[in-house]
Amino acid sequence: MSCLRTYFHKTLVCLAFGSALSFLPGMTLSAAESDVLATVNEEPITEAYVDQLLGELTQQFAQLPESERKAAALFSAIEIKMFAQLAVDEGVDKNSTDQPELQLSGDRQLHERYIREKVVESVTEENLQARYDRVLKNSGPTLEFKARHILVSSREEAEVIIQSLDDGGDFSELAKQKSIGPSGKNGGDLGYFGAGQMVPEFEVAAFALENGSYTTEPVVTQFGYHVIKMEDKRQAPVPTYDEVKQQLRQVIISENYANLISQTSADAAIEFTDKELEAAVNRFRKQ
């Protein structure tokens, strides 16, 4: 199913991130207890609130440069506040539930309930089938490639390996001995892959090879110097609906969540007390 990898590379970052925030302990700090960083429809988001988000989600925010973490936390807090308000305005907070753990007790639970009802549970079987038919069923098979490579840190090393191959050396054994890439221990085997899954320089060189042939010049990428051998080319069959149903669901949920954020942000009155922090938050909005 590697023909799907590019399409399904989209992840539920926003949704997963929001869900993680939803289960944080209740944060009931009042505006008087901390400086107000922003307001959402005149409701304050305080610095202490944002600092607690940073503390509770250390692992998630650690993936960002330190200079961006506060803005990321404020961006997330604004989203939570917007959807919590919508949950109240649209009566979602009053809906019954068979999941006692989701009884509402603050912004995080309101946010979680709203996203669950308006985004996650709104994806129907008809939505999934229509997306499958539009994107996959009628797209036909795609070409896949099976290759090996040997990755080294210098052109000179790559040229020595190419000479060894010219002299009859075994590609797999040379990969095990010389390659610094993670596939080295497996003889450089990369398995099957399709267009868009490797860096461009690698793909151009690999796709030009005939089965059984290898590159006669080192291929330079951001990772180092490669010697590539093409082993097989095949038509990858289109996966069945059942095989990709859950992946399709994740893609649609992610898209719907992003659209809802865009729409809600456009309708909400969001004000900041710090222009520099506002600019940083707006950079996250555009991502």
The pLDDT score that the predictor gives to residue 13 is 34
CATH class in words for 9-129+244-285: mainly alpha
Global pTM value = 0.53
Residue 140 has a pLDDT of 65
pLDDT value of residue 95? 59
Q: Where are the domains of the chain?
A: 9-129+244-285, 142-234
List average pLDDT for each run of 10 residues in the chain, which is 287 residues long. Answer: 31 36 39 72 86 78 81 86 85 57 57 85 92 78 90 96 97 97 95 91 96 97 96 86 90 89 82 82 71
The DSSP secondary-structure symbol of 57 reads T
Q: Residue 126 CB: number of other CB atoms within 10 A?
A: 8
What is the model's pLDDT at position 70? Answer: 86
The class level of CATH for 142-234 reads alpha beta
- Whether the CB-CB separation of 49 and 27 falls below 8 Å is answered with yes
SS3 255: helix
* Contact criterion met (CB below 8 Å) for 198 and 206: yes
